[in-house]
Amino acid sequence: MTFPTHRPRRLRQSGAVRRLMAETHLVPSQLVLPMFVREGLTEPQPISSMPGQQQHTIDTLRRAAAEAAEVGVGGVMLFGVPAVRDAIGSGADDPAGILNIATAAVAEEVGDQLVVQTDLCLDEFTDHGHCGVLTDEGVVDNDATLERYASMGVAQARAGSQLLGLSGMMDGQVDAVRRALDAEGHVDTLIMAYSAKYAGAFYGPFREAVDSQLTGDRRTYQMDPPNAREGVREALLDVEEGADAVMVKPALPYLDVLADVRQSVDVPVWAYQVSGEYSMVEAAAQNGWLDRRATIMDSLMAIRRAGADTILTYWATEAAGWIRDSLR
């Protein structure tokens, strides 16, 4: 009888061996928790299409941020839902706007324990739901939007945001915001560019989460799903403009782009496990079709394996707790 010369199974024979030989590791500090805060709420509002997620009050937002910090989550990304919207998203750079008030509250609560981050985009604040200012013809005006982003960036930095997540996909947005921040003395405020943000169907539940007013679609500024090389080009342009980190969004449907971007840039690469990814797993788990915890961890490890240094995920606090407990 001839026996195998190579026995890869030796590397899998026990949990201890598997941990020792693991090629990819996931730790709590690599996770960022996105959270929604809505103006005017007296109680948190569940998001029906995202089981387990909610629109927060300021108080519950602070508590959720503290819970994330307690288990070692690396950061929180805040999204604001205003009570009043207009054509130019005036609430976005209003110091008394919901996002800026919430940022100051969270920075006070946990600013020395994790990185307080803010979404920098106009879509939650406009009455038409687009990520920028519209022309009279209803087209997003790239350069007029840059002026709004610059003002929004300064307002968020003043409120205490340590990292700005530029998610609008306007050409030149990193340069515009960086110049505005530096001119105001916010030279240490980080910029994370949503460089390869793809238009598609995976954002559906998020629209409920931010009470989106969108009419039409965002295909003239978000990326076309068939294009992978273009995602790398966008990331390289953002790095050239001064981005401190770049992102691929969504995560799992674009692991190929994520891997290509990781190989092409020398800054941290992030990925966003978006609402559709979250809700599909939660729905299947509720029906008993899969092991919820195992599926969540499989999905996060896939994103790490493809090259993400940091992952935005709605499971951040829960997954961080699992990881921490597994190491005890």
Q: How far apart are CA 296 and CA 276, in angstroms?
A: 13
- For the residues of 140-177, what is the DSSP string, one character each? B-HHHHHHHHHHHHHHHHHHT-SEEEE-S--TTHHHHH
Closest CA to 39 of 111, 110, 117, 91: 91
Catalytic residue among 56, 178, 197, 218: 197
Of 40, 39, 122, which is closest to residue 87 (Cα–Cα)? 122
Q: Is 284 a catalytic residue?
A: no
Q: Which amino acid is at 185?
A: G
- What is the distance between the alpha carbons of residues 46 and 52, in angstroms, rounded to a whole number? 7
Helix segments in the chain, DSSP class H: 15-21, 58-70, 98-110, 142-159, 173-183, 204-209, 229-241, 255-264, 275-286, 292-306, 316-326
Who's near 308: CB < 8 A, 6+ residues apart? 30, 248, 251, 258, 262, 269, 270, 271
Active site residue 49: no
Q: How far apart are CA 325 and CA 328, in angstroms?
A: 5
Report how far residue 201's alpha carbon sits from residue 114's, in angstroms, rounded to the nearest whole number: 31
Residues comprising the chain, all counted: 328
DSSP label at residue 50? S
The 10 Å CB-count burial string (b at 16+, else e) for 126-136 is: bebbbbbbbee
Choose the catalytic residue: 62, 128, 218, 249. 249
Which two structure tokens, joined as six digits, stand for 32?
């960022």
- Alpha-carbon distance 312 to 324, whole Å? 18
So which residues are the catalytic ones? 197, 249
